[in-house]
Amino acid sequence: MTYSAPRTVSIFGATGSVGKSTLDLIRLDRQSYRILALTANGNAKELAKLAREFDAEVAVIADAGQYDALKDLLAGTNIEVAAGPESLIAAAALGADWTMAAIVGCAGLPPTLAALKCGKTVALANKEALVSAGHLMMAQARDAGAVLLPVDSEHNAIFQCLQGGRIDQVRKITLTASGGPFRTWTKEQMASVTPAQAVAHPNWDMGAKISVDSATMMNKGLELIEAHHLFPVGLENIDILVHPQSVIHSMVEYHDCSTLAQLGSPDMRIPIASALAWPERMTTNCVPLDLAKIGRLDFEAPDYDRFPAIQLARHAIEAGGAVPAILNAANEVAVAAFLKGDVQFLEITKIVSRIIDSYSPPEPNDLTDIFGIDKETRERAIAMIEDARV
Ligand code: NAD
Ligand code: MG
């Protein structure tokens, strides 16, 4: 890469699937990037290892109980150690040239907003933040003049396809979906799936939460909301198409009936590389696409009866106000309960739907409102799950 000086980079969620893929790419071109902050939730050992390897300026662990462990692990280095959610915000406010927002869940919202406020470039993987607080995040990016680069493979694909025209020339955006591990399963078969089956995605290697979301197809619902905020073409102009091979990552159709698509191997390092080097292109060691070997690409309409989560998300964005934040928080709780073995697979979407119907708080105006809704929704979802078990 040929920047005039090394880019300063901070990675929120450095120990996760997206965080580690980002660091893999930086390993390929160390001299172009200087690491400011690396963060993790509770894995002090892994965070310390990465902070040492990349000579980070700051290492932040969200779990304050891990502060001493991290401090010990980084003894003898110049790396500053911090802990707790407030320290995540402070690290984001350092204002790296390029910030990767790759914390999973709404917990990533405060540092992402703080990074946007610096007016630099934020690469966004943390879709839950955008689902819960899309208006707030987009307004913050606009007000601060920040560049928000989508990392989710579909949204990164759309972003790339939009280099071929203008948003007001778009007729339709098509988000592709692999269909997840249960694409061909009946509801009866899905009734008894285990967490291990749900996290075993056929094409992508991802964190546990997003893997379960892909299996229920709530992931596509969250991505619909994400696309709605990132690409203002109207919700009715965003379609979902099941494409089991995950080769076409999404498409943009223009008014002249030209459709641009972005293709690539299903490897998150490809969209991450596009965001990391943007507006340049970097060389990666990812596997290039071999279409002759793949042979064929298949497409089918989503089955909303077996995968109701997609329509639930569409209704949430239509309803607006607090509903997308409720959908997200209820889903985070239900997925965590499923992973612990406390609820059945098909109950995940039912819990989300019931919680949405259970109350209607006023429209959130700020971060305090969002976290109020998030907290109450979590309490309601936990109570609902506990009630069902007694
Ligand atoms: P992951 O579970 O592998 O990693 C999550 C990271 O966030 C870890 O570093 C963890 O320590 C940190 N974290 C978790 N909870 C936290 C908390 N409460 N406070 C602070 N830090 C916390 O997740 P992932 O698969 O890398 O996904 C990260 C985000 O990117 C998610 O929003 C996901 O939807 C999105 N995304 C992931 C992929 C993928 O291929 N993995 C693709 C598209 C989008
Ligand atoms: Mg995606």
Is there an atom of ligand 1 within 6 Å of 152 CB?
yes
| C-beta separation of 148 from 159 below 8 A | no
Which atom of ligand 1 is nearest to 152's Cα?
A: 43
Which atom of ligand 1 is nearest to 208's Cα?
A: 2
Three-state SS at 60:
strand
- Please give the distance, rounded to the nearest whole angstrom, from the Cα atom of residue 182 to the centre of ligand 2: 17
Nearest CA to ligand 1 atom 22: 41
Widest pairwise Cα distance in the chain: 63
Model confidence, pTM: 0.97
Three-state SS at 159:
helix
- Please give the distance, rounded to the nearest whole angstrom, from the Cα atom of residue 250 to the centre of ligand 2: 10
Q: Around Cβ 280, how many Cβ atoms within 10 Å?
A: 11
Ligand of minimum distance to the alpha carbon of 203? 1
| C-beta separation of 379 from 137 below 8 A | no
Q: Do domains 7-150 and 320-390 have the same CATH topology?
A: no
Q: Around Cβ 255, how many Cβ atoms within 10 Å?
A: 11
Ramachandran assignment for 386, one of left (phi > 0), alpha (psi -120 to 50 degrees), beta (any other): alpha
Task: From 206, 217, 225, 286, give the residue whose CB has the most ligand 1 atoms within 8 Å, as the site to mutate.
Answer: 206
Residue 147 is classified by DSSP as E
- 307: Cβ–Cβ under 8 A, 6 or more apart, which residues? 216, 217, 220
Q: In terms of CATH architecture, what is 7-150?
A: 3-Layer(aba) Sandwich (3.40)
Residue type, 208: A
What residue spans define the domains of the chain? 7-150, 153-306, 320-390
- 261: Cβ–Cβ under 8 A, 6 or more apart, which residues? 157, 161, 248, 249, 250, 251, 252
Rounded Cα–Cα distance for residues 382 and 372 (Å): 16
Rounded Cα–Cα distance for residues 259 and 240 (Å): 15
pLDDT tens-place string over residues 363-387? 999 999 999 999 999 999 999 999 9
What pLDDT, on a 0 to 100 scale, did the predictor assign at position 1? 60
What pLDDT, on a 0 to 100 scale, did the predictor assign at position 2? 58
Stretches in the chain below the pLDDT threshold 70: 1-3, 390
Report CA 323 to chain centroid distance, whole Å: 19
Is there an atom of ligand 1 within 6 Å of 62 CB?
yes
Q: Which fold has domain 320-390?
A: Rna Polymerase Sigma Factor; Chain: A (1.10.1740)
**By C-alpha distance, which of 90, 41, 31 is closest to 64?**
41
